[in-house]
Chains A and B, each alone.
Chain A
């Protein structure tokens, strides 16, 4: 644990917030189109309709805000999921949320010929929610109710099913493939600000409620029986946490497509910094998640310039070695 006292943690939280803002301004200023800090400021204070100002306002700003919001949401969803499933490798993928969203988008494109990115938002949110509800119900069937093992298995099964069906549809329908492929790789670019504002209420609700249940998540993390013995309504809490997870990761996937690994990596990184108290882990994970996605997105612009690497690929490149590290550390204990 890096930050051992609460005063250090408050300072860290403030610093992280500051860094997040700095990275957001980097994201606004640096990219393929040459812009300067002065242009960026002018674009908001004395907009002159120039190409640069338009790019800053309508391309770079939404992109920075989306990266921060999506990164924060995925990271917090990851924290809640890892506690809920007692599985250190859990992430929104495990609820079949990404696969469900992907499938819904492919269905929309191939059956209803919808190709509007704005509409993808709602379709994928719906797909994520439906998949989540299936996983939750399947995971709850049986005598003991919702258990981490059943939840994980149900999630893996639903993911596999939706992924296969998505591929099946894409093979049959090549037009859909072209339109959907970019979305399926995960990206925060090319989205309008409205895409974010459409789901922002859900994301914000997820952020606030995740902070409100943080203390209860601490109790739940001591195990189902102990938590019940302490008077925690575990069924209610698990349902609440599930709904928050679907708001956050469903909202994130709706805006940016499936972005993997962030939900696994950030919670671990955060616990290394602030320990295991959810009241600190959740806000820190949100800030660090936003920071990581901003960094990944800025790096994505420079690696194969003038082209861009999809940010979902970037997070995978960063995340995979980390995933292996966690898995190995887990086995060595």
Chain B
């Protein structure tokens, strides 16, 4: 189903001061698929995502969005093609869900054209898709963690972009809500063919939801491809420095990583 690239990086080098985080990276992110960045803490996966979203200027090289250099596009043009949901965003106290979602239409507003029926429609659709219609007049700070994240996702949907980037969208959520958020993103991809790029910490959920996994290590892409092709013990050992077995998820058939370590072993006669 690959129909070209949504995003490509060209010799992209990112740094904080003199510390190189990502070095001359050439990465292609397919259109219409879910791509997940994985890697150990501090490997630069969030930094890479932020840079793709133009929140961080590259030291050298650049990012192409649908074939065009992002640095050459106006920031509002970019915002009409690509949305970013940063990690743990904070809404100002007292902001309602509706007000939050309406901000997603900012890239479409000009001095002359402030609010149109199309804006209204996109906002309504975004609330509907995320199941937030009933909560639209509540303030964001009064919502539970899962609802709050859905509200923010609704804002990025109102932005009406083909590509959505999310930096650890399931952080601080319990397991139920992690699945709920990922299901929502999966549906958006299935129904509307939106390109979704996100950073996830949970390798098993990454394997389940991603069409395309990008494992990052030592300032470079260590491996990229379908989870069932790239995820194995060797990769996990290399990328995360962890010993594990990789088996098959009994529900989905996707790779399932089971770490070694200490802990109570209650299997008969098998102390690990």
**Which residues of A pack against B, CB within 8 Å?**
1, 143, 215, 218-219, 221-223, 225-226, 228-233, 271, 275-277
Contacts and interface: CB of A to CB of B under 8 A. Distances in A.
B94 interface: yes
A232 B85 CA distance: 15
Interface string B90-133: 11111100011001101101000010000000000000000000
A101 to B, nearest CB: 30
Nearest to B107: A231
Contacts of A221: 92, 95
A296 B125 CA distance: 50
A226 B92 contact: no
Nearest to B156: A229
Nearest to B104: A230
24 contacts: A218-B103, A219-B106, A221-B92, A221-B95, A222-B89, A222-B91, A223-B86, A225-B50, A225-B55, A225-B84, A225-B86, A226-B85, A226-B86, A228-B75, A229-B83, A229-B84, A231-B75, A231-B76, A231-B77, A231-B107, A232-B106, A233-B75, A271-B94, A276-B95
Contacts of A225: 50, 55, 84, 86, 89
B200 interface: no
Contacts of A218: 103
B148 to A, nearest CB: 13
A143 B16 contact: yes
Contacts of B104: 230
A241 to B, nearest CB: 15
A219 B103 CA distance: 7
Interface of B: 16-17, 50, 53-55, 74-80, 83-86, 89-95, 99-100, 103-104, 106-107, 109, 114, 159
Given A223-B86, A277-B99, A229 B55 contact: yes
Contacts of A219: 103, 106
Contacts of A223: 86, 89-90
A276 B92 contact: yes
A230 B79 contact: yes
A327 to B, nearest CB: 15
A230 B106 contact: yes
B159 to A, nearest CB: 7
B23 to A, nearest CB: 19
Nearest to B93: A276
Contacts of B77: 231
The 5 closest A-B pairs by CB, nearest first: A231-B79, A231-B76, A229-B84, A225-B86, A231-B107
Given A143-B16, A232-B75, A233-B75, A222 B94 contact: no
A218 B93 CA distance: 12
Main SS of the interface on chain A? Answer: loop
Most chain A CB inside 10 Å of its own CB: which residue of B91, B103, B107, B114: B103
Given A215-B109, A226-B84, A231-B78, 12 more contacts: A143-B17, A222-B103, A223-B89, A225-B50, A225-B84, A228-B53, A228-B75, A230-B103, A230-B106, A231-B76, A232-B106, A276-B94
A225 B156 CA distance: 13
Contacts of B95: 221-222, 276
B79 A229 contact: yes
A63 to B, nearest CB: 36
Contacts of B53: 228-229
B92 A222 contact: yes
Most chain B CB inside 10 Å of its own CB: which residue of A219, A233, A276: A276
B254 to A, nearest CB: 30
A241 B16 CA distance: 28
A230 B108 CA distance: 10
Contacts of B78: 231
A48 B109 CA distance: 56
Nearest to B91: A222
Contacts of A226: 84-86, 89, 103
Contacts of B103: 218-219, 222, 226, 230
A221 B103 CA distance: 11
Nearest to A271: B94
B127 to A, nearest CB: 17
A230 B86 contact: no
Contacts of A222: 89-92, 95, 100, 103
A5 B75 CA distance: 33
A219 B106 CA distance: 8
Nearest to B75: A231
A230 B80 CA distance: 8
Contacts of A1: 94
B5 to A, nearest CB: 21
A226 B90 CA distance: 9
A233 B95 CA distance: 22
Nearest to A224: B55
Contacts of B85: 226, 229
Contacts of B99: 277
Contacts of A275: 94
Nearest to B74: A231
B57 to A, nearest CB: 10
